[in-house]
Amino acid sequence: MDVNNGIGLAAPQIGLTINAFVISKDVAKQFGIPSAYINPKIVSVSQKEEIMEEGCLSVPGLLGLVKRARTITITAHDEKGKQFTVIASDLAARIMQHELDHLKGTLIVDKFIKPPRKNI
């Protein structure tokens, strides 16, 4: 993730069949959120949505517009097994939703609202 300038990575992206994802430590620190999410579940999503461009380490070089909830509440366990709840907005919420999609087998290409552009 760090070598390729990623900001999040889900276990299935690296061949692990566990229900977990991580967010880069720098981004987690910036937003004051945990970096590890084990057995994450979305508890609630805001009605307000935003459309933003996203990329993905699983489909390098493609960028596309994706609509996501602006704010989410998520529960998960940390690497020590302790349960926590996070309310995240904007980029933090987007990263979490993106990684949760991977856990369900969904890629951003499945969510693009118009054809992607190549990022060379």
Catalytic residues, which ones?
99
Output the CA torsion 100→54→2→90 (10° steps).
Answer: -70
- Alpha carbon separation from 8 to 46, 48, 69, 103 (Å, rounded): 21, 23, 17, 12
Structural contact between residues 109 and 17, judged by C-beta atoms closer than 8 angstroms: no
